[in-house]
Amino acid sequence: MSLFDGIRTKMGEANEALAEAKKSWHDATLTQRETEVTEREERLVEQRRALELELQNLKSGRLKRGIRNGLVTISSALAAFFLGTAVGNQPASHNNTSQHFTADTAGKSASSQSVSDSTAPRSAPETVAACTAKGVAYFKEVGSYPVLHSPPDRGRAAEDVAFERCNRSLLAFGPVD
């Protein structure tokens, strides 16, 4: 029996060693898998954050474009309304001559503007200058002087914009006193 007992003991030790090796291999495999899963989760979290940021930027861009388009539409409608009001109240003229006005406001000479529309009002330079002065006062009041801050005239001189608008309509900044 001692031979069988020795073999049985050695077999028991071999089985224990095999079980320990199998457990060690299994633990190593689990650790490796856990590491891979953790790394993948981290990559997915980073991708999710990047996509959320991109979505937020897209929404913000759409909102800005929507606001800008709305403001342009409103500005165009107001300009058309005021232009229609000013032109509709003036008698029609059938000569196509051009008028050139130059306004000197705050020591700066505005560029010469040309108006050549058969229905455009023919205004005295004094009336255009008074309207321009009222427009400059308006731009100062709203904080857009000496350079305008909002579309469609962003970056342009307030005097130039006021002069152009007054040449289109003397009512651009309200009735001239």
pLDDT at residue 1, as a whole number: 62
Residues 132/163, Cβ–Cβ less than 8 Å:
yes
C-alpha 20 chain-centroid distance: 65
What is the model's pTM?
A: 0.33
pLDDT tens string, the chain, 177 residues long: the values are 688 888 888 899 989 989 998 888 888 888 888 888 889 899 988 888 888 888 888 777 777 887 888 888 888 778 777 776 665 544 444 333 334 343 343 333 333 333 333 344 456 777 899 999 999 999 999 998 999 998 888 999 999 999 999 999 989 998 877
Residues 55 and 139: their CA atoms lie apart, in Å, by 37
Residues 169 and 45: their CA atoms lie apart, in Å, by 59
DSSP letter at 150 equals: S
Residue 32 burial (CB < 10 Å; 0-12/13-18/19+)? exposed
pLDDT at residue 123, as a whole number: 60
Non-local (6+) Cβ contacts of 159 within 8 A are 103, 105, 106, 108, 110, 132, 136, 146
pLDDT at residue 147, as a whole number: 93
Residues 110 and 165: their CA atoms lie apart, in Å, by 13
Residues 157 and 74: their CA atoms lie apart, in Å, by 22
Output the CA angle 128-133-138, nearest 5 degrees.
125
Which of 100, 76, 47 lies closest to 151 in space, CA to CA? 76
CA atoms within 13 A on the CB side of 75: 11
**Neighbour tally for 99: CB within 10 Å:** 14
pLDDT at residue 56, as a whole number: 83
CA distances from 22 to 7, 16, 17, 73, 131 (A): 22, 10, 9, 75, 95
pLDDT at residue 158, as a whole number: 94
pLDDT at residue 164, as a whole number: 94
pLDDT at residue 86, as a whole number: 61
